[in-house]
Amino acid sequence: MMNTIIQLSLAVICLFIIWRIYKTMKANPQLFSKENLSKSFASAGVLALILIGFVFVLVMLLKTGK
């Protein structure tokens, strides 16, 4: 019984999220323009490289500590 309620709740939440995304895309079609997407991917790439470097430094610190 509880499992069914949880599944139904998750389905309703997912439908609400999809509806909000659809409404946002209809209101702002320029959100997914080529220029905006390329800027976003460039920013995500830089942040990913910084995160990889940070994890590398932490791993090296753990190895030298032993």
> Would you list the DSSP string of 12-34?
HHHHHHHHHHHHHHHH-GGGG-H
| pTM over 0.75, yes/no | no
For the cut 70, the answer to whether the pLDDT of residue 19 exceeds it is yes
CA distance 50 to 42: 13
Pick the residue with more confidence: 50 or 25? 50
CA distance 62 to 44: 27
Neighbours of 31 (CB within 10 A): 11
For residue 1, what pLDDT is reported? 67
Averaged pLDDT, 3-17 = 94
Averaged pLDDT, 20-27 = 92
CA distance 3 to 29: 38
Pick the residue with more confidence: 1 or 64? 64
